[in-house]
Amino acid sequence: MTSLLDNLNEPQLAAVTLPAEHALILAGAGSGKTRVLTTRIAWLISTSQVSPQGILAVTFTNKAAKEMQTRLAAMLPINVKSLWIGTFHGLCNRLLRAHYRDAGLPQLFQILDSADQLSSVKRLMKALNVDDEKFPPREICQFINAQKEQGLRASTVEAWDSRAKQKVEIYAAYETQCQREGVVDFAELLLRSYELLTRNEPLLRHYQERFRHILVDEFQDTNKLQYRWLKLLAGQHAALFCVGDDDQSIYAFRGADVGNMRDFEREFNVKHMIRLEQNYRSHGNILDAANAIIRNNPHRLGKNLWTHAGSGEPIRVYEAYADSDEARWIVEEVKSLVRDGHTRAEIALLYRSNAQSRALEHALFNAGIPYRVYGGLRFFERAEIKHALAYLRLIANPNDDTAFARVVNFPVRGIGARSLEALQDAAKATNSSLHAAITQVSGKGGASLAAFAQLIHQLSEAAHLPLPELIDHVLDLSGLHTHYQNEKEGQERLANLDELINAAASFIAEEGTASEEGELSADLAAFLSHASLEAGEHQAGEGDDALQLMTVHSAKGLEFNMVFISGLEEGLFPHENAVNDIKNGSDGLEEERRLMYVAVTRARQRLYLSIAQSRMLHGQTRYNPPSRFLDEIPRELLKWLTPRVEKQHFAVSPAPTFHGKSHVTAQRTGHIGNPSKDSGFSIGMNVHHTKFGPGVIVNAEGSGTDARVQVNFKAAGVKWLALAIAKLEAA
């Protein structure tokens, strides 16, 4: 027992040994939250307060769930795979598999990942003759998922106009199609699980009595329905132990609701709120900067990160004239770090928007520096893998129309668009799956479709084989191997298909599942679920030591010795949409500030911040002032690697003739126009307006009495003001 608690600091120990009551643990970045969660579970079990079967632990990624299992296996002499530890999707999948009849699902229902869902919606819209330009399929998918995450079925969604009504009708048809095919999407896993428990009182009571301790990781990332699901399972008796950081809530665009933390505190009358503030990752100056930035968000529960690691180095700031200069500087700094003995894998380059990467990648490529863009295609999302999985899904369920549509003519087997249209019409007329409607299609197309059905039948007859052998058999008989062997650049795809066989063998070895001879392989169904749930998880890339490039969103949960945050300009970081939202009372700026907090706290030892006075984005050169986040960092923490660039004055000089606008641009040196008529204002100058408040001059144009300036106001956004009448003064 003592050894379990030996390495905990005082707040961690207090959290781990809390009584069986509701608790909210505010775990700052790098404060050891996973240690607290796993030790809490081990302590509850080892002190006989709960059996392993009485624990439910929820997290957001399979990687995090496996990390918890690995740590628990080292702490306790139990089979950790029997524990209910997993993601929301994974646990709901497990629940629905166990009670598929009550849930109204076939035993071997399949899971649609995001790409499969999009394909399914496209197919449906084509059958319904819906204009995909007026109603983009991706928009429909987002609409459907958003409704499900709010707990709404098509029958309960209110449509206020004709466009919304059309979306609801597509949603209703999509529900019918998925039910007929025996498939569920990710959002459906949670919604159907919630509905199963709400309408089945004995089943709900069973799980409420079973799970006496419910532990939740990354609680700030939960959406409304996930929170309702947790409350439902907790009932009146379970203790909810929620660990999260409201300062790292950055997924509102996915439906995450940071307000769930305050709602939980209020609705469950939480008496135990513990703050984990000691950071084991970063040096003090980095943490002080992060604390100073996030302190400007008014709606937070509040904490202050600190460390025993010392202050460390100051934060380096570089101001470039253009994004190309910024990129060249980063390249030179990376070279210097590598010369000093740092590996490129220890260095991360973060940016707010993917559009920023072009100049960075161009400079890295020219300098011959290996780099990797984090978040490329994952293993289970690669086309050749999805083709192979589609054949496997048809073995498990021939009525899976999404899988059918993907491979019915891949590799090419002479089934054209006209034959597929005839098949879709037949399926619609008989209200059946595409596979079941094959017998209704005649002619040459019908014969080709019948041959494909025979192929699926042949593959199904081999379902008794061990899973790796089954996959190898499918790759050969389907023609996928031959197809990629004949493809000009097919060797990499063949290697990926071979890796799929390895993945299946590893899955069987790790999960220990086994099916009886002569039955449809339970291993196959489990592996297909595994593949769908793993799609979207990051797969570590192979190859040389490489610099890591990624968006700030992608960086959450990661840490690096050296971190560059580029593009710290108003309108870029914070994003212009968030800046403009201030006028509407939106908390978009607060989320941008949380993003900056996440970015800063990725750094262990050294942090670089960079600015470009001009930046090419979306085909336009933009001149934005430095980000307000720089102003929020105490000056004593910063080391400017460039002198603050001298502000460039502009003046108004009369032109002999004036036609339209005469644009005045900032120059590197000197004044523009006649010094005697200098207005006294300069591009980059801090100014104040009686109505709009503080701002920064970013551009100027015109001459004489027509002169005007463009000002980026912190509260009012970007505005053009005529100098002759503007109530503008230097700040």
Active site residue 476: no
218 as an active site residue: the answer is yes
Token pair of 252 as six digits: 């509102």
Contact 43, 294 (CB under 8 A): no
Q: Which residues pair with 311 in a beta bridge?
A: none
Q: How many CB atoms lie within 10 A of CB 364?
A: 21
> Could you give the count of Cα atoms lying within 13 Å of 346 in the half-sphere of its Cβ?
14
Q: Which residue is catalytic, options 12, 87, 226, 248?
A: 248
Q: Which of 33, 122, 167, 300 is catalytic?
A: 33
Q: Which of 34, 49, 208, 278 is catalytic?
A: 34
* Annotated catalytic residue within 185, 188, 218, 587: 218
C-alpha–C-alpha distance, residues 23 and 409, integer Å = 55
Residue 323 Cα distances to 305, 318, 581, 606, angstroms: 33, 12, 26, 22
Residues 283/305, Cβ–Cβ less than 8 Å: no
Would you call 312 helix, strand, or coil by DSSP?
coil
Which residues are bridge partners to 611 per DSSP? 319
Question: Has 210 been annotated as catalytic?
Answer: no
From the list 277, 180, 302, the residue with the least C-alpha distance to 601 is: 277
- Burial class, 670, CB count within 10 angstroms (exposed 0-12 / middle 13-18 / buried 19+): exposed
Q: Is 248 a catalytic residue?
A: yes
Rounded to 5 degrees, φ, ψ at 27 are -105, 105
The span from the CA of 426 to the CA of 418, in Å, is 12
- Tell which residue, 128, 89, 112, 106, has the closest CA to residue 405: 112
Given the residues 116, 149, 185, 217, select the one marked as catalytic.
Answer: 217
CB atoms within 10 A of CB 719: 15
Verify whether residue 542 is a known catalytic residue: no
Annotated active-site residue in 71, 122, 372, 602: 602
> To 5 degrees, how large is the angle CA 55–CA 57–CA 63?
140
Alpha helices in 311-416 (DSSP H): 323-339, 357-367, 383-396, 401-407
- Catalytic positions, please? 33-34, 217-218, 248, 602
